Amino acid sequence: MMLRSCATQLMNPGQQIVSIWSATPRCAAPWNVSVALLSTRHAPWRPSAGLHHLSAYRVPFRSSTGSEVLKNTRRPYFLKPFSFAMSRTSLHETHDGEFKRKESEFRHFISREPGAEFPPEADRYHLYISYACPWASRCLAFLKLKGLDHAIGVTVTKPKWGETKPSVDDHHGWMFLEDGEDVPGAMKDSLNNAKSIRDLYEIASTGYTGKYTVPVLWDIKTMRIVNNESSEITKMFNDEFNDIAKHPEVDLFPEHLKASIDSVNSWTYNAINNGVYRCGFATKQKPYEEAFNQLFEALDRCEEILSKQRYIAGNELTEADIRLFMTLIRFDEVYVVHFKTNKKFIREYPNLFNYTKDLFQVPGIGATVNMYHIKHHYYGSHPSINPFGIVPVGQKIDYSAPHDRDRFSKESA
């Protein structure tokens, strides 16, 4: 969102409100920002304590007229570049109105092969997650289903993004619990004493300029990020820790279903898992509608498949189910409203809804769902979508209610 226009009349310097910059072709500025300006005379460049949902700034200016501010918006002393963007959150991966997710950057692999740089060892690795993040929650589900809780520690961030380095820039991201705070389910980082996920990236990689995402699989021994790509972390947990796992018999990538799993993942990722984000973060009507239509075509396809078999890739619980579940469980409570995916609720699909309840009731999967974190993250961390941070009450769906999926035979779960 480029800084494009503002109200034509500002209040006198020193008074507390200015104008909201929004979207028209005029007054295009060189910064990627969408910001409310707070006028004070000779104020420093720093985020204002007020109006935080609108990313307010204190901006020195010499005239109370909007026209002079408009005339001078390209001068660097009028506005600090809005570095919340910095290509470091999903909110800013939009090009030509279409959301395009970037690939993860830390791609090392834990392996049982002799001489591997990262061998599977108990108490060597640590998983950083947010309950809100569907990608991170996949990894937590694998960790629990494989019985790796005793060997790999877990730290959970607070649900709502916060300022990661307010004295340096305006980036907002995943934060850890601090002394005196009470956020149920969130934790302090007792391992590295980091204040944010950003701190971990900067400990591991000096000069890192990418996104500060979860999950993070951390190597305690070398103080490095092993991997931050959920699809690879889940494969490591499934395959490489069987000598340590309490449930080595659990195989979520069974050989006889790999082709089916890969096929399902290929179309559910773009249309459903990432599709809800393509709807929610679109900034133009056409890409939004394209993503919307693809999303519901894919959900209809899932509904049809699940009318014939218990799980999405066959009659066994697999990685494809965990991927799909993490989107479905967030759909009615968040995506329908927040991401405008409002054609149908999941609870309006008989097979998908019963399937979601079935998976929720699997020990190790339901334990990854913290609806407080899910709702407070999405509704509280995306000011361009929900500027006042109001969290809808919702219907409090009971996913522990009986389901009908037992009508299908299953080989294992």
One domain for residues 103 and 239? yes
Identify which has the larger pLDDT, 303 or 413. 303
User: Among 313, 394, 380, 382, which residue's Cα sits nearest to residue 346?
Assistant: 394
Please state which of the ranges 72-76, 99-103, 337-341, 376-380 shows the lowest mean pLDDT.
Answer: 72-76
- Other beta carbons within 10 Å of 301: 16
376 pLDDT more than 90: yes
Residue 312 placed within a domain: yes
One domain for residues 320 and 395? yes
Q: Active site includes 133? A: yes
- pLDDT score at 207: 86
The whole-chain average pLDDT of the chain stands at 83
Per-residue pLDDT tens digits for 47-94: 333 333 333 333 333 333 443 333 333 333 333 333 444 445 555 555
Residue 51 placed within a domain: yes
One domain for residues 233 and 209? yes
One domain for residues 312 and 276? yes
336 pLDDT more than 80: yes
Domain boundary among 217, 250, 283: 250
The whole-angstrom separation of Cα 161 and Cα 130 is 11
Please state which of the ranges 224-238, 267-281, 313-327, 399-413 shows the lowest mean pLDDT.
Answer: 399-413
One domain for residues 214 and 331? no
- pLDDT score at 53: 35
Identify which has the larger pLDDT, 282 or 42. 282
One domain for residues 33 and 141? no
Domain boundary among 55, 82, 109: 82
346 pLDDT more than 70: yes
For the chain, the domain total comes to 3
The whole-angstrom separation of Cα 196 and Cα 84 is 15
Residue 375 placed within a domain: yes
- pLDDT score at 103: 62
CATH number, domain with residue 193? 3.40.30.10
In the set 6, 57, 131, 133, the catalytic residue is 133
pTM, to two decimals: 0.78
One domain for residues 48 and 186? no
Q: Count Cβ atoms within 10 A of the Cβ of residue 136 and give its class: 0-12 exposed, 13-18 middle, 19 or more buried.
A: buried
Q: Count Cβ atoms within 10 A of the Cβ of residue 8 and give its class: 0-12 exposed, 13-18 middle, 19 or more buried.
A: exposed
- pLDDT score at 11: 39
Residue 182 placed within a domain: yes
One domain for residues 69 and 41? yes
Check the CA dihedral 378-382-385-387 and report its sign: positive
- Other beta carbons within 10 Å of 392: 13
Q: How many CA atoms lie within 13 A of 334 on its CB side?
A: 27
Q: How far is CA 168 from CA 82, 259, 308, 364, 407, in A?
A: 12, 48, 55, 40, 58
One domain for residues 218 and 281? no
Residue 190 placed within a domain: yes
Percent residues over pLDDT 90 in the chain:
71
- pLDDT score at 73: 39
- Banded pLDDT at 187 (limits 50, 70, 90): very high
Percent residues over pLDDT 70 in the chain:
74
Identify which has the larger pLDDT, 349 or 84. 349
- pLDDT score at 209: 87
Per-residue pLDDT tens digits for 156-180: 999 999 999 999 999 999 999 999 9
One domain for residues 206 and 103? yes
One domain for residues 106 and 246? yes
Residue 412 placed within a domain: no
CATH number, domain with residue 394? 1.20.1050.10
- Other beta carbons within 10 Å of 121: 16
In the set 125, 201, 277, 288, the catalytic residue is 277
Per-residue pLDDT tens digits for 241-298: 999 999 999 999 999 999 999 999 999 999 999 999 999 999 999 999 999 999 999 9
Please state which of the ranges 96-110, 147-161, 272-286 shows the lowest mean pLDDT.
Answer: 96-110
Residue 413 placed within a domain: no
One domain for residues 73 and 95? no
| Residue 173 CA, distance from chain mean position | 10
Look up the domain containing 273 and give its range: 255-407
- pLDDT score at 12: 41
The two three-digit tokens of residue 57, written as one number: 């700034």
Q: How many CA atoms lie within 13 A of 273 on its CB side?
A: 23
Residue 314 placed within a domain: yes
309 pLDDT more than 90: yes
Domain boundary among 230, 250, 270: 250
